[in-house]
Each structure stands twice: as structure tokens, then as C-alpha cells.
Structure 1
Amino acid sequence: MSLQPRRWQPPKATPRAREKHSEPPMPAVQRIEVPGEGPEDVVVAADGRVVAGLANGALVAVDPGEGTVEQIGHTDGRPLGLHANSDGSLLICDAERGLLRLDKPGGQITVLVDEIGGVPLNFTSNVFADGDTVYFTESTRRWKLDEYMGDMLEHSETGRLLRRHPDGRVETLVGELKFANGLVLAPDRSCVLVAETGGYSITRYWLSGDKAGTHDYFVENLPGFPDNMGLGSDGLVWVALVTPRNPLLDMLLPLPGLLRRLVWAIPQRLQPKPARTVWVQAFDFEGNLIHDLQREGTDYAMVTGVAEQDGVIYLGSLTETAIGLTRVP
């Protein structure tokens, strides 16, 4: 696909974007190997197991205490963001097949949404449920998962926050998002938070109150690229930061598109690679940074998913063959 660059002036990166570890440091990351690559998102199921979807389409449940792994389903696509319901069912954003539901471990998979207005979903990314109402994101309407860097360079701003009503009707709550990604619903149901990976920010869509139906920024000018998010047992919003801000990309985004087209034309093996790091942050619902945990990505990297449970932090990755496990220091 040909690149159609949009010019955008990113906010000036903070000094934190150039640092490679946090203070206090993130504790060492333990690996729990899974039978495949790319456990992109991680969620804690009702039975305490950690669930992830792999690049080969498998859905796996991991017992973090024993390290045992069970395949609980297969999407025949590429599962990304997940939401574990209290009844044992699982909602899945599959980058290729749309919004899916697994009724129980080892059960049947149903397609909930695969098109809107007759147009197939292009890149469904993350999901959260409030009873029978489901919020989910489409990262970009132009690029597929295996070419996500195309959207980072193009800056298409075609991401969407979507809501599926119990009767199956789907509406767009916010469009023109900069690579819409992770989702969190506030415990009081006042708002939905959505990560804008390409905007280094988290957008807040108000569901109730005087601002209902409008959106603003929850957090701006993050030091890295936010991906999936999770509501922790501590009541905080945990955010996976895939990689630090890239100075070259920041320099190119405000300039005419020719330079970005030249970068995209370079063979993929020669294009700039994301810096290896392990990085998560946690915010309260006032937008205050409570935890900032980072270490160099020597043993684990490209963290795209995070789930916190009783001080234990589970990590997902687009490229690793394991779920990561660390702790709040």
C-alpha cells in the first residue's frame, strides 16, 4: 500500500523518554513460556489463570503458580486484545476476524462484529465489556497488523472507539484517533479511556455527567508508545509502553511526507527497529502517575499488554514466546 502521510506536530518529548530504567527499578522479569509467539495482551480470568492470544491463533490460559499452559480456544485469525468475563467467557479482538466471543474454555467462538455498515473491520485491537455492552477499538482503517509501522509513519488518524449495544447495534463514539489501542472502563462507569499509540496519549470519552458524549485527554505527552491497558486490582490504570519515543519519527512527522515515503520504501530489515525495553506505568483516575517501572529489554521486550493482580504484574508481548511476570516494588 502506498503511504499517504499526514503532517502532525508532536509535543516535545520529556527527558523521561531518553532514560532506559526507572527509579525505583523494575524488579527482574520471570518468563512463563507459551507454545507459540506473541502473547500480545494478557488478562486475569475468573479462575485466576492468565489468558493470552498467540500469533498462531491459539488462546491459552496459564497457571502462574505452576507454569502450566492449556489451550482454551483458537480463533483461526490473530487474537490481540482480550476481556475476561466473570462467567468464564472471553471477548477477543481478532485483527483479522473482528470482535469475537468464546463462551467458555474449550467452547464455541462466535463472531459478534466483523463489519460496520457493510465495510469489514480492518484491525480490531482491544475490548472491554460493561455487562452486555461492549467497547472496542479499531486501530486503523488503512493498515493491517503486519504493516502497523505504515500507520506510525503515515499517521492516518483513522482509529476508532466503538460501542456494541446489547441488541447488536454498533456506534462510533470517537473517530480520527491516532492508532486507537488499549481500553479501560472507569469503575464508576463515568468514562472510557483509550490509548492513542501514535499520539503518545490516552483519550477519555465521557459516558456520564455534564461532559457525557464528549472526549478530552486523560494523559498527554507520554514518554513512549502506549499500547494495551488494564484496570488493576489496586484500582489504577496500568499502561504498557512498547518502546520509547523515537526522535527520528518525531522529527519526520511535521515535515512534508516525501521523507517518510523514502523511509517506508527501505526494505523492512533495514528500517529503524523499536528500542528494546520493558516498561509499564500506572495512573490514578485523576491522571496522576503512581508507578513508573522500566528496565532494559535484555531478557524480555516489546511489552504490549499488562495486567496487575495483588501486586503481581503480568506482561504480554507482540514478539516474545513467553508471558512476563514481575512485581510492584
Structure 2
Amino acid sequence: MAESTQLLSPNSQPQTTRSWRLMLFLYAMITVMVALILVQIDSFDAAPYPADELAKKPVFEVPRINPQALYGSERIGEGRLMGPEDLVYDPKLGVIYTGCGDGWIKRVSVNDLAVEDWVNTGGRPLGLALGYSGELYVADALKGILKITEDGKIETLTNEAEGVKFGTPDAVTVAKNGVLYFTDASWKYDLHNCSLDIFEGRPYGRLISYDLSTKQTKVIARDLYFANGVEMSPDQDFVIFCETPMMRCRRYYIQGEKKGLIDVFIDKLPGMPDNIHFDTEGHYWIAITTEHTYKWDVARRYPYIRKLLVFLEKNWKRPSVEKNAGVVVVDMDGNLIERYYDPALIYVTTGTKIRGNLYLGNVFNSFITRLNLSHYPAAAAAATPSSTKP
């Protein structure tokens, strides 16, 4: 009789189970609605990226690639280098200078890999440039543009332009005539909030010069999208600088027929560029902090998604959109010729070739990555499966 009663029941689930499921559903809906309201009223305001930029498709075809750049690599100075953001080599001393998150500029011997605490700026040294008399120039995110003499004396050269303080001094290079060229990635956001600049989608970056003889600071270009790495051409006729979210590098002519003009050196890179270094062999090595992905492409197109990502980053944890960081090699004409990357690499901030080895800096690692290029070279892309599809 009991069995017949159960068969005739209009619902096989107990009433309490149905009630709990309904309550959980309502709770989830209320949570989502509250979260959306909080996101909407958050003060962060993301802007649309330019339509012509969104229409561009990134180039993923590179003649030669190494898609497993960590295989066979070494960790240099592990535990002693906190966020080695940029690397610059002094062939006279045989050392690599690198700026760390604890304020130290450290020197790493390429012969025995010994790490030396050299000078502490009291700030956060980012981009570095070796001067022509042994001095070191530093783009310090907290202090401005610094000069450090061979004996370790620090001088602040400049920390504002046109009455506007630098927000995030990022990279620096020096010409033989004594003029420094450097980038202020964002005059609005400081280093600790610099990711908000990219998520906001407005151009707050500047390319700036400082003349060592006249001590004058001059804004060369403004309204740049997160102005980043900068490098002098070997003939001293132009300066290359990167715009990170635009996935391109531009060129400012400092002499010749095109003096004062700015054009595009390389566009549609396979990811977001950071620091750039010339290897004296006719190649520029451009760090790619993260590959261009479908997730980032969607975020660039829809400001609300970037607003949501910022809300999650500030209050919980945003989903990762970074992968396949590394470095690309570009010739003097701005053509991609090689790429080194790895699925496990993210936030690579600099790459440079020294004595046949590739050295990679990373803003979050506690070491420098070194790869022997003769043992682990890039191979023809057709012969090596690429993982660069979004």
C-alpha cells in the first residue's frame, strides 16, 4: 500500500529538498545581482579602445620559434634577485645590472654567476641604461630618472615634465650626445596600480627626453598607451619605444630627414611588449610579457569586462589572461625573425642576448632565466608545433 502511495505522489523529491534548492537558486541570483550593482557603481571607468586598433589582427607567424624556452634553462641568482625587471650588460666589467623590487640594483657576473648587492635606490628601479663613461641611468618608478656613478653615488636628474609628476617612469636609453630618452608609462597611475592603466584603456603615457648638459626635461610624445621599453638605434638616428596594450613599437627620429617624426617600427606583435634591447648584431630583442589571447581580445573590445576584471582584482581574484610570455627577435627593418616562449612563462619583462645566451628578467620571479641559444635554438616554425593560437 505504501509503495502504491509513493508511485502516485506528484513529486518524488521531499518538499524540504525542493525548498533548499529554491533558496540556493535565489541566493545565487541575489549574489550575482548585488555583485553586478557593485561593479556598476565602482568608480573605475574603462574606456573603449580605438576601433582601428581593435580591427587589427595580431601576427602569430614567426619564421623560427622555440615554444619550450624553459626546457634546458637555468635559474641564475635564485632567491637573491627579487623581481629582476630589466637587465643591461657591461662588457667591460663582465656583469649584468638588474633592478629589484627591494630597491637594490644588483650586479651578476656572467663568468661565475656571483650576485653582488651594488646600490639601493630606496625606490623601485625598472629600466636601466649603461652610459658611455661607466655610469648607469635608472628609470625608478618611485624616484624618477637617476644617474649612478661608477663608485655608486646617486643623483636624481628629473621627476616631472611640464609640471606633471612622473607616474611610472619605466624605461630609459641614452644617446652619445648626452640626451636621455625615457618613458613615463602612465602619468595617472603609479607602479602599484599600473595595471589599471591598461584596463582603463586611455592613453596616459609619455615619451620624454632629458638633456644632461642643459638639464632640461622635454615631452616628446604624449597620449601614448602605456609607454614602455625604449632603445637607441645603433646609428643614433632614432629611438624605438613600445606601447604595451597596442602590441606595437614606434620610432621617434632624432636626426636626419625625418627628424622629429614618429612612425610605427613594428605592429601586430604576438603579445604585449615590455623592454627592448639591441644586441649589436643587428637584432632587437623585445620582451613579450604575455601572449595575445582570445580572453584579452574580448576584454579589449568591451570596457565593461575590463571594469569587471578590475573589480575582481581589487576585491577577490581576477581570472588569468596571461600565458606564453617570452621574447621576440626583430631585425633592423622591423621584421619578426625568431620567438622564444613557454606556456609556463608569464610576466617576462626583459630579454637580452649576452655571449650566446638568452637572459630573461621577470617582475615576479626571484631569479634570472638563462638559456643557451646554441643548445636550444629556435627552429623553423613549420617543423615545430606552435601553441600561439588564441
Normalising by structure 2, we get a TM-score of: 0.78
User: Residue in 2 aligned with 1:214?
Assistant: 261
Q: How does 1:21-40 map to 2 (within 5 A)?
A: 22-23=65-66, 26=69, 28-32=72-76, 33=78, 35-40=80-85
Which of 296, 300, 316 pairs up with 2:343?
296
Q: Alignment partner of 1:22: what SS?
A: strand
Q: Which moved more, 1:124-133 or 1:84-93?
A: 84-93
User: Residue in 1 aligned with 2:237?
Assistant: 190
Q: Alignment partner of 2:301: what SS?
A: coil
Normalising by structure 1, we get a TM-score of: 0.91
Rounded to whole Å, the distance in 1 between the matches of 2:164 and 2:206 is: 14
Which of 24, 38, 44 pairs up with 1:3?
44
Q: Shift of residue 61 of structure 1? A: 0.2
Rounded to whole Å, the distance in 2 between the matches of 1:15 and 1:185 is: 25
- Deviations 1:202-242, CA, capped at 9 Å, x for gaps: 01111223321111111111111100010113221110001
Rounded to whole Å, the distance in 1 between the matches of 2:175 and 2:144 is: 19
User: Residue in 2 aligned with 1:310?
Assistant: 355
Which of 131, 135, 159 pairs up with 1:85?
131
Are residues 1:161 and 2:204 paired?
Answer: no
Matched AA of 1:142: K
- Deviations 1:39-93, CA, capped at 9 Å, x for gaps: 0001102312011011010000001221211111011011100012243211000
Q: Alignment partner of 1:199: what SS?
A: coil
Matched AA of 1:224: G
The percentage of counterpart residues that share the same residue type is: 28
User: In the alignment, is the contact (CA less than 8 A) between 1:233 and 1:310 conserved in 2?
Assistant: no
User: In the alignment, is the contact (CA less than 8 A) between 1:313 and 1:325 conserved in 2?
Assistant: yes
Q: Which moved more, 1:94-103 or 1:22-31?
A: 22-31
Rounded to whole Å, the distance in 1 between the matches of 2:223 and 2:293 is: 22
Which of 60, 74, 92 pairs up with 1:16?
60
User: In the alignment, is the contact (CA less than 8 A) between 2:68 and 2:343 conserved in 1?
Assistant: no
Q: 1:51 to 1:28 in 2, by over 3 A?
A: same
Q: 1:123 to 1:15 in 2, by over 3 A?
A: closer
Are residues 1:117 and 2:158 paired?
Answer: no
User: In the alignment, is the contact (CA less than 8 A) between 2:164 and 2:187 conserved in 1?
Assistant: no
Q: Alignment partner of 2:245: what SS?
A: helix
User: In the alignment, is the contact (CA less than 8 A) between 2:273 and 2:289 conserved in 1?
Assistant: yes
Which of 280, 284, 287 pairs up with 2:334?
287
Q: Which moved more, 1:38-47 or 1:244-253?
A: 244-253
Q: Shift of residue 276 of structure 1? A: 4.1
Query: Runs in 1 of length 4+ with deviation above 4 angstroms?
Result: none
Q: Rg larger in 1 or in 2?
A: 2
Which of 227, 245, 250 pairs up with 2:274?
227
User: In the alignment, is the contact (CA less than 8 A) between 2:326 and 2:348 conserved in 1?
Assistant: yes
User: In the alignment, is the contact (CA less than 8 A) between 2:240 and 2:251 conserved in 1?
Assistant: yes
Matched AA of 1:22: I
User: Residue in 1 aligned with 2:293?
Assistant: 246
User: Residue in 1 aligned with 2:387?
Assistant: none
User: Residue in 1 aligned with 2:283?
Assistant: 236
Q: Shift of residue 170 of structure 1? A: 1.2
Query: What 5-or-longer segments of structure 1 have no aligned partner?
Result: none
User: Residue in 2 aligned with 1:57?
Assistant: 103
Q: Shift of residue 34 of structure 1? A: 5.1
Matched AA of 1:119: V
User: In the alignment, is the contact (CA less than 8 A) between 1:200 and 1:223 conserved in 2?
Assistant: yes
Which of 198, 206, 220 pairs up with 1:152?
198
Q: 1:309 to 1:86 in 2, by over 3 A?
A: farther
User: Residue in 1 aligned with 2:153?
Assistant: 108
Query: What 5-or-longer segments of structure 2 have no aligned partner?
Result: 1-41, 378-390
Q: Which moved more, 1:76-85 or 1:264-273?
A: 264-273
Matched AA of 2:47: R
Are residues 1:201 and 2:216 paired?
Answer: no
Rounded to whole Å, the distance in 1 between the matches of 2:88 and 2:208 is: 20
Larger % of strand: which? 1
User: In the alignment, is the contact (CA less than 8 A) between 1:82 and 1:126 conserved in 2?
Assistant: yes
Are residues 1:68 and 2:114 paired?
Answer: yes
Q: For the aligned residues, what is the CA RMSD?
A: 2.2
